[in-house]
Each structure stands twice: as structure tokens, then as C-alpha cells.
Structure 1
């Protein structure tokens, strides 16, 4: 009987050691998962920053519309001047048209640059987000495979 108790004590101690090992593994897994969550949060923050940039571009678009309205008004003013007295007002009309064209050119150039920059940032963020997701899903698949292996080992041990 004493020998059986010693055997059970040895079994309990070995199970206790196994439990500690599993607990350490679970802690490591938790740290890895937390790192994945941090990476995901970084992606979300970057996407929020891009959303702010989109809002800025929308505001720029509204300013572009206002500038285009101003340019159109300049063009209409130029047309009115032409209709009143062509010979005397040709120079002022040319200046008004040139100002309108310069305004439109500057605004459209700036808009194109911002859209190109936003496209580049969006593409980079999508790639980062995709890579984070792939790493996380591979990690989860490995965790599931490890758990299956451990379960099979435990079933074999119990049998």
C-alpha cells in the first residue's frame, strides 16, 4: 500500500510539472497573441489616420469647387468685358482668363498630388494589414495543430 501511495505521489508530481509546463506555454501563447493584437491596433490607428487624410481631401475638394466657381466667375467676367468693348478690354480679359487658369491648374495639381499620396499610403497600409492577418492566422493554425497533437498524446498516454 505504501508503494502504491508513492506511485500516486510520483504521478501527481509529474502531472503538476506537466501542468506548469502547459501554463508556461499558455503564457507564451498569450504574449504572442497580445503582440498580434497590438499589431492589429497599430493597423487600425493607421487606417484612422488615413480616414483623417480622406476628410482633408474632401475638404480640399470643396475648396476646389469654390475655386472653380471663382474661376468660372472670372471667365464670365472676361466674357462680359469682351462683349462690351473688345478692342479696349482684350488685355484685361486675357489676364482674368490667365488667373482663372492658373488657379485651376494649381488646385488640380495639388489635388492630384494628395490623391496619389493617399493611394500610396492606402496600398502600404493594406499590405501591412494583410501581412499581420496572415501571421496571426498562421499562428492560430499552429496553436490548433499543437493542441490536437497534445490531445492525441494525452489520449495515447491515458490508453
Structure 2
């Protein structure tokens, strides 16, 4: 009787971590999609204001390059986290490499934000929250693998 209780409890814990991993992965995928859409809007707005704003070509090229890289990265993370979500939904565990890459990208983003624009709570708060979500996702996926 005790063995059955321990096995059932372990299964419940695994289901809890699996549900948490699915939820956090879906949230990160949707937030990455939103960030990609916002980057596309930023890219289009830079292109539309080229003639009205008197800024050097180097600044414009830098803004377009930065926005293009963000669009590509966030679309990539959107697809990857939707794949992670789909696999977790089927009950298949995944490696935490995607979460680690996401966390590293967001840390790099925070560092660049501080270097380029100085310390701004507004520019750092959202990436820090996304880093916490990435850590929660990696933790949940790792716990699912262990149980």
C-alpha cells in the first residue's frame, strides 16, 4: 500500500511539473511572437520615417540591422518554444538547451541595453522578467526529466 501511494504521488508531481513546463513554454512562445510583431512594427516605422527624420545613414542602418536581428531571433524563439510546447503536450520531455539559449539571448539584450542607453529600468525590466520565465521553464522541464 505504501509503494502504491509513493508511486501515485510521484506521478502527480511529474504531472504538475509537466503542466507548469507547458504553460511557461506557451507563455514564452506567445511573448516572443509579440516581441517579433513589435520589432516588425519598429522596422516598418523606421522605413516610413526615413524621409522625414534627419538622421545619419549610419544610425538608420544600425537601427534597421538591430531590428532585423531582433525579428529573426524572436521568430526563431517563437517557433522553438511552440515546438517545445507541442512535445510537452504529447508528454515527451525536451532538452533545456532552448531555454538556456533564450536566457543567454535575453541577458545579452540586457547588457547591450545598459551599454548603449545607460541604466534604464524601463528597458531592463521586461527582459529580466523574461529571463525569470526562461529559468522557470528550464527548471520545470528539468524536473519533468527527473521524475
Shorter-chain-normalised TM-score: which range?
Answer: 0.3 to 0.5
Higher share of residues assigned helix: 1
Q: Which has the higher contact order (CA 8 A, sep 6+)?
A: 2
Structure with bigger gyration radius:
1
Give the TM-score taking structure 1 as reference length: 0.43
Give the TM-score taking structure 2 as reference length: 0.45
